């Protein structure tokens, strides 16, 4: 086998913009204001983050709902070491968090020092950044609820 291989760097880079529309836009604006917004389906359940169209009936969804900033870890994994492009540079939890008032879990980081501090069923609360721009990273991560009481 020929061990010599052709190699070339290829960097593709140009900017994109995104039009978020009335529903995703409301979620982003909510984050900037320090609140978490979901949307109510016809059966009364609340989806977070909100969807523009119902995943089963295809009906447009319009009833925005503010949900709680704390909730229960439904499932989790421990990330160590984080990859270079991870939003978190320290080892951290990555969890599906069932927020109070929501019926679907939200995926986000849990900022604790070791996997020993993680457990299914633990209550966590969102830690918002002081300066927010309308982006999912406006939530720095979730921390154990007891640590802020």
Partner 1 sequence: MSKNNCAVVGVGQTKYQTTRGDVSMAGLVREAAYRALEDAEMSWSDIDAVVIGKAPDFFEGVMMPEIYLAEALGCAGKPILRVHTAGSVGGSTALVATSLIQAGIHERVLTLGFEKQSESNATWALSLPQPFSVSINAGAGGYFSPIIRQYMIESAAPELIGCMVAFKDRQHALRNPYAHLHQHDLTFDQVVEAPMLWEPIRYSETCPSSDGACAMVLGSESVGDASSKPVAWVQGTSMRSEANTFPGRNEVNPRASRECADDVFSQAGITDRRREIDVVEMYVPFSWYEPMWLESLGFAEIGEGWKMVEEGATHIDGGDLPVNCSGGVLSTNPIGASGMIRFAEAALQVRQMAGEHQVDGVQRSLGHAYGGGAQYFAMWILGDTKP
Three-state helix/strand/coil letters over the chain = CCCCCCCCCCCCCCCCCCCCHHHHHHHHHHHHHCCEEEEECCCCCEECCCCCECCCCCCECCEEEEECCEEEEEEEEEECCCCCCCCCCCCEEEEEEEECCCCCCEEEEECCCCHHHCCCCCEEEEEECCCCCCCHHHEEEEEEHHHHC
The β-bridge partners of 60 are 53
Residue 4 binding partner 1, by CB under 8 A: no
**Closer of 60 and 87 to partner 1 (Cβ):** 60
Q: Which among 52-60, 64-72, 89-97, 140-148 is the span making contact with partner 1, rule CB under 8 A?
A: 52-60
The piece of 35-43, 46-54, 70-78, 85-93 that touches partner 1 (CB under 8 A) is 46-54
Does position 5 interact with partner 1 (CB under 8 A)? The reply is no
Q: Which of 18, 44, 81, 131 binds partner 1 (CB under 8 A)?
A: 18
Which 60-99 positions form the footprint of partner 1 (CB under 8 A)? 60
CB of 63 to partner 1, least distance (A): 17
Residue 15 makes contact with partner 1 by CB under 8 A: yes
Q: Residue from 3, 16, 44, 116 that binds partner 1 (CB under 8 A)?
A: 16
State how far the Cα of 46 lies from the Cα of 79, in Å rounded to an integer: 29
Catalog residues that contact partner 1 under the rule CB under 8 A. Answer: 6, 8, 10, 12, 14-25, 51-58, 60
């Amino acid at each position: 086998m020929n061990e010599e291989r052709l190699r070339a760097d290829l960097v593709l880079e140009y900017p994109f913009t995104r039009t978020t529309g009335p529903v995703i836009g409301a979620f982003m604006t909510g984050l900037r204001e320090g609140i978490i917004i979901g949307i109510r389906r016809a059966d009364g359940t609340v989806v977070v983050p909100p969807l523009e169209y119902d995943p089963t009936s295809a009906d447009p969804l319009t009833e925005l709902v503010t949900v709680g900033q704390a909730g229960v870890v439904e499932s989790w994994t421990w990330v160590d070491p984080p990859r270079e492009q991870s939003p978190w540079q320290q080892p951290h939890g990555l969890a599906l968090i069932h927020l109070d008032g929501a019926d679907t879990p939200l995926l986000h980081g849990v900022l604790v020092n070791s996997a020993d501090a993680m457990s299914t069923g633990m209550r966590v609360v969102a830690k918002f950044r002081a300066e927010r721009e309308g982006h999912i990273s406006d939530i720095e991560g979730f921390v154990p609820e007891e640590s802020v009481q």
